[in-house]
Chains A and B, each alone.
Chain A
């Protein structure tokens, strides 16, 4: 058996594996990365908007509820933004480290922590439990950070 006869099927397998993840989301790796960055920015904007309301002294509860609901929904979708083959190197602006896929169990664990935090934030926001929202927001921010610390490339600046 020649080398190419072994290599060919292996290559096909690899391509199928890599593409499989992307195909699931219906996007190429680069497109998935770009979309992911936009989703992340959306989450950052929601966090910022809630934080500003809490600091304002007279929070607009309707706004807090809407943004908290948005965060809970996106926290549930988050793992789907990371198809295999959409990491650093595929898209220039992506800072998604390979360890997301090589240590996928740990990544999923961190994502679950975000879902828990965002769900509690939204529950307290919808219940108008103003006293708890501050701590919930902190916990949600800590969950964002907890994941970024392990799975995101550091800024060079």
Chain B
């Protein structure tokens, strides 16, 4: 079978950085490494902003407009009434959005959190009382397990496809997947677009990390 590009490099780099940083964030929080926890969170914030922008500027499989389908599209897919899809299928697309949304919520809660000794404080905790920041910190600890649940489903889905002899892991590493003869190749987004997207993402993360002050 012919192989063609399915995930562009920015999508893959964003994905694998999250794979590293989410467990690292958990580890640093549970091992008293809050300065590292904060840095990890700011980096994740930057990655989320980048991914959001890339969802409009990126290659077709990166774009929200390409992979987000209404309920009918999801049902049709589940009934197997859809032609093979390059990139996220209608159900997988929503799973990606759910993971990104919970991760964004998790970052937001972290920014407003403070530890019980007020030694470690998120850069936006100054906008809340000590009590409210503590309540947010408890939510931050709880929402993590929802994120873990969604990631668990994501990994389980990859396992199910593997049992059905469809390799989803390889393409997320190499970027290429086998396609049927005659299928059109995906037009990969020009590399220069990474620069404005990364610049905006970096600036937003920096601004938030500094407590919304320049």
Please give the residue numbers on chain A whose beta carbons come within 8 Å of chain B beta carbons, in ascending order.
41, 44-45, 47-48, 51-52, 55, 138, 141-142, 144-145, 148, 155, 157
Asked whether B138 lies within 8 Å of A48 as measured between CB atoms, the reply is no
Which listed residue, B116, B118, B131, B134, touches A51 by the CB 8 Å rule?
A: B118
Residues of A within 8 A of B119 (CB): 47, 138, 141-142, 144-145
Asked if B94 is at the interface (CB within 8 A of a chain A CB), the reply is no
Task: Kindly supply a per-residue 1/0 record for chain B positions 78-122, scoring 1 wherever the CB is within 8 Å of any chain A CB and 0 otherwise.
Answer: 000000000000000000000000000000000000101111010
* Complex Cα gap A155–B137 (Å): 11
Q: Are A148 and B117 in contact (CB under 8 A)?
A: yes
B129 touches A45 (CB 8 A): yes
Given A52-B126, A55-B211, residue A44 in contact with residue B121 (CB < 8 A): no
Set of chain B residues within 8 Å of A145, measured between Cβ atoms? 117, 119
**Interface residues of B, Cβ cutoff 8 Å to A:** 114, 116-119, 121, 125-126, 129-131, 133-134, 138, 141-142, 211
Docked complex Cα distance between A125 and B92 (Å): 56
Which chain B residues border A157 with CB–CB below 8 Å?
138, 141-142
**How long is the Cα–Cα vector from A157 to B136 in the complex, in angstroms?**
12
Q: How far is the CB of A144 from chain B (nearest CB, A)?
A: 4
How many whole Å from A152's CB to the nearest CB in chain B? Answer: 8
The verdict on A45 contacting B211 (CB below 8 Å), with A141-B117, A142-B119, A148-B116 known, is: no
* Smallest CB gap from B140: residue in A: A157
CA distance A155 to B138 in the complex (A): 9
A70 to B158, CA, bound (A): 56
Q: B118 to A48, Cβ gap below 8 A?
A: yes
Given contacts A52-B126, A55-B211, contact A44 B118 (CB under 8 A): yes
Tell which of A41, A55, A148 touches B130, judged by Cβ atoms closer than 8 Å.
A41
Is the Cβ of A44 less than 8 Å from the Cβ of B117? yes
Which A residue sits closest to B144, measured CB to CB? A157
Name which of B114, B117, B130, B134 has the most chain A CB atoms within 10 A of its CB. B117
The docked-state distance in angstroms from the alpha carbon of A142 to that of B31 is 16
- In the A-B complex, list the 8 residue pairs whose CB atoms are closest, starting with the nearest: A47-B118, A141-B119, A45-B130, A157-B141, A144-B117, A48-B118, A44-B130, A52-B126
- Best-buried of A48, A51, A141, A148 by chain B (most CB within 10 Å): A48
Choice from B114, B141, B211 contacting A48 with Cβ under 8 Å: B114
Question: What is the distance, in angstroms, from B78's C-beta to the closest C-beta of chain A?
Answer: 35
Output the nearest chain A residue to B145 by Cβ-Cβ distance: A157
Contacts of A51 in B (CB 8 A): 118, 121
B134-A44 in contact (CB<8A): yes
CB distance from A71 to the nearest CB of B (A): 11
A62–B22 alpha-carbon span in the complex (Å): 41
Complex CA–CA separation, A47 to B117 (angstroms): 7
Once the chains are docked, how many angstroms separate the CA of A45 from the CA of B126? 11
CB distance from B132 to the nearest CB of A (A): 11
What are 15 contact pairs spanning A and B, CB under 8 A? A44-B117, A44-B118, A44-B130, A44-B134, A45-B130, A45-B131, A47-B117, A47-B118, A48-B114, A48-B118, A48-B125, A48-B130, A55-B211, A144-B119, A145-B119
